[in-house]
A = this chain, B = another copy of it.
Amino acid sequence: MPIRTLVWGENVHEQKNKVVADNYPEGMHNQIAKLLSSDSNIVTKTTTLQEPEHGCTVEALAETDVLIWWGHAAHGQVQDEIVERVAQRVWEGMGLIVLHSGHFSKIFKRLMGSPCALNWREAGERERVWVTSPGHPIAKGLPPYFELEMEEMYGEPFSVPDPLETVFVSWFQGGEVFRSGLTYRRGAGNIFYFRPGHETYPTYHDETVGQVLRNAVNWAYNPNTYPGLLKAPNVPVGEALEKIEERGPTLHQGREGFR
C-alpha cells in the first residue's frame, strides 16, 4: 500500500509576490507534490493554509501517513487547535517533514520544545549541501554533495535539540555553515527537518532535492502507528501482574489521575 502523503503549503507569497508566483505558478505545494510523483510508493495530496481547518481536518490527518510542511509568512495564522491536532497525529505515528522556513512554524517549535532560531541572509548565494551520513536512508542515491546555485543562507547556531542523526550539513558561499538535515522521533512519529527551499529561488524544481524528499517520505513512514501514547491509565491493584497488597495512604480514591 503506498504511503499517503499530504503536502501542506502556506500559499501566501505565491499570491502576493510576482517572483514567487513565476517560480511556482501552481503553488509551492503542488510543485513539491510533483517532485514526489516519480516514486510509485507514494500517493500525494496537497492542501493549504486557506482551506477550512487549514486542510488538516481530523479525517484528512487520519488518512495521512506523512505530512510535509512549508510555511513562512503566516506561521501566526495557523490555529493553535490545529497545531495540537497535528502534534497528536505525529505522536501516534504520522511522519512529519518540515521544510526551510518551517523551522519557525508552530508545529515544529511545538515538537522540538526549543527556540528553533538561526541566522539568515537572502543574497542568492551558493549553498553546497554535504551528505554527512551517506548510509542513511534519506541519503539513498545521492552524490557526496549537491549544489543550489542560489539560496537563502541559514547559519548556526540552530537552536534545536541535538538530533538522533545529522544527515546533511550545508556550506554557504558567504562563510556560514548549517546542519541542513536532522532526524527526530516524538512518540511514534519520525520527524525530518530539511533546510533548502526559499520561495524566491527554484529549489523545488531541483531533481536532487526531489530525491531527498522522496527518500524522506519513505524514511518517515511508520507502519507501526500507536494511538495509545496520550493516555495515562491507572492499573488497578487487583490487576497487578505480580500479586501485591495495597499499603499505606492513598490519594487517588476515584482512580482518576491529575493533568
A223 is an interface residue with CB less than 8 A from chain B: yes
Which of A26-34, A45-53, A60-68, A232-240 lies at the binding interface? A232-240
On chain A, the number of residues with a Cβ less than 8 Å from chain B's Cβ atoms is 107
Interface residues of A in 84-98 (CB under 8 A from B): 87, 91-93
Given contacts A19-B249, A164-B162, contact A229 B125 (CB under 8 A): no
In-complex Cβ contact of A250 among B101, B115, B173, B200 (8 A) = B200
Residues of chain B lying within 8 A (CB to CB) of residue A128? 175, 177, 241
Residues of chain B lying within 8 A (CB to CB) of residue A176? 130, 171, 235, 241
Residues of chain B lying within 8 A (CB to CB) of residue A133? 157, 162
Interface contact B185-A166, CB-CB below 8 Å: no
> What is the distance, in angstroms, from A61's C-beta to the closest C-beta of chain B?
16
Residue-by-residue, is A220-259 near B (CB-CB < 8 Å gives 1, otherwise 0)? 0011111011111111110011101111111110000111
Residues of chain B lying within 8 A (CB to CB) of residue A121? 234-237, 240
Residues of chain B lying within 8 A (CB to CB) of residue A248? 123-124, 150, 200-201
> What is the distance, in angstroms, from A135's C-beta to the closest C-beta of chain B?
2
